[in-house]
Structures are given as C-alpha cells and as structure tokens.
Amino acid sequence: MLKKRIIPCLDVDNGRVVKGVNFIDLVDAGDPVEQAIIYNAEGADELCFLDITASSDNRDTLLEVVKKTAENCFIPLTVGGGVRNLDDISRLLHFGADKVSINTAAVDNIDLVAEAANKYGSSTIVIAVDAKETAENQWKVFTHGGRKETNIDVVTYCNEVAKLGAGEILLTSMDRDGTKSGFDNKLLKAVTSKVNVPVIASGGVGNLSHLLDGILEGEASALLAASIFHFGQYSIGEVKRYLADNNIPVRI
C-alpha cells in the first residue's frame, strides 16, 4: 500500500536555517545539511528546502546546500523559493534537487507549468499554492510570500496546474500557518476531492492529532511540517509511530 509521506521543511536564508533547532547532537544548529542528514536518518520520507533569501545575488548559497544534501541524503529532495524560470529549475536539478517547487512564477505565467513539466517531467514539478479563506468555503491564491492577493480561486487553480502537468501540489493555508491550530482540513478536502494529483498539506501543525486529521479529514497524500520537528517537539519516528497506531500506512 502506498504510504502517507512525512516531509520536514527547512526555511533557508543565505544558506542557513532560519528557525532555530535544538537537536542535542547537532554541531551547528544553523546548518541545513546537518539537519537534513538527521531527518534522513530519522526516517523522513522526503525533504523540503524553502529558500527565503531576499537578494537574488545570494541565491547561489542555496545551491551548495542542495549539492551537499544530495551527496548525503538518498531520499527525494524538493527545493523551492524564488524559482522564476526554466533556468532556475535546471540549475537546482543539476545541483541535486529531485523536485522543484514553483509558486508566484506559476501564477504570473501559467505556461511555465506546462513548459517545466514537458521539459523535466511531471514528477519533478511541484506547484506551491498559498491559500487564504476570503469568504466561507472559498479560498483565493496569494503570491509573493503571501503578501499579494489575487482573484484566483484555489480549487480552480489547482485543477488547472494539474492538467498542465504539475506532479503534485503543496497547499499551504495562510490562515493556519504558524498558528499551531491544525491544518485547514476544509481547504484540503476541497482540493483533494477535486484534483487528481497528490496534495501535500502544509500550515498549522501543532500536535500529533493535527497530522492525523490532515489525512483523515483533509485526505492529503503527504504532510509537511516545520516547527514541530525543528524545536524537537516530536521526532519523525514519533510522528510515524503515532500514525501507524492509528492505522495510517507509513514507512517505518
């Protein structure tokens, strides 16, 4: 049976992890490669790096991080943040990313989704969607790190990118992100029930039952979390054991 995936996400700024971590055996708490290696050893199903480096001049620092991670972690690695065009995707893949996530650039130019999927394969292209509830049971796509509202309906958009060749959708609830109050399962269900590509749930995880709800209520294929892992609240192993105890298929 296909397993539900647990994906720790690391925010990387100028080649360093932004959110602090408290792994006791970590030599350098800000080194994303070291953290990736630990997550890999703990049984993460995939890894995700989100580059939040403000200046594009400093983006090359991320490539080094990707390269070193790929040399040490033999699980899928998704990299996103500031991906604008085919050259950006090509560079990330060349340095060892397995998938590249595109956010604002896909909204600005929807043709990029098809171009990227045709060139690199659907399996390589993740479309990241930042969603905010603007009326009851209605979500709009936001861009530029959530700063800019568009008039695009999230479900319609997800369907469109899936048809154009996106291999999966990374769906972040802006309403829940950072709140630790659980995924927006209504949003998740609205998308997973209508879109036929895997959906990664993101934004809002605060405890173990939130993860379970994302699968049972939101029907997500994969769960992304940052702070519960970074701050040592739970290990990947604990999360998986909890899900397995609740009859969710996971890789242990």
Active site residues: 11, 130
Give the Cα separation of 250 and 34 in Å (integer).
24
Q: Strands 148-153, 138-143: parallel, antiparallel or unpaired by DSSP?
A: antiparallel
Rounded to a whole number of angstroms, the minimum distance from the CB of residue 3 to other proteins is: 4
Give, in order, the Cα–Cα distances in Å from 12 to each of 33, 119, 125, 127.
Answer: 10, 27, 20, 19
Rounded to a whole number of angstroms, the minimum distance from the CB of residue 135 to other proteins is: 28
Cβ-based nearer residue to other proteins, 123 or 138: 123
**Residue with tokens 């399962």, as numbered in its chain:** 185
Cβ-based nearer residue to other proteins, 66 or 226: 66
Cβ-based nearer residue to other proteins, 104 or 185: 185
CA 106 from chain centre, in angstroms, equals 16
Give the Cα separation of 104 and 220 in Å (integer).
22
Cβ-based nearer residue to other proteins, 78 or 173: 78
- Beta-carbon contacts of 199 under 8 Å, excluding residues fewer than 6 positions away, are 158, 168, 169, 171, 188, 191, 192, 219, 220, 221, 222
Contacts with other proteins, residue ranges (CB under 8 A): 1-5, 40, 45, 67, 70-71, 74-77, 93-98, 118-124, 167-168, 196-199, 221-222, 251
* Residue 134 one-letter amino acid: T
In contact, 120 and 130? CB cutoff 8 Å: no
Question: What are the structure tokens assigned to 169, written together?
Answer: 């959708």
Rounded to a whole number of angstroms, the minimum distance from the CB of residue 179 to other proteins is: 27
Rounded to a whole number of angstroms, the minimum distance from the CB of residue 225 to other proteins is: 17
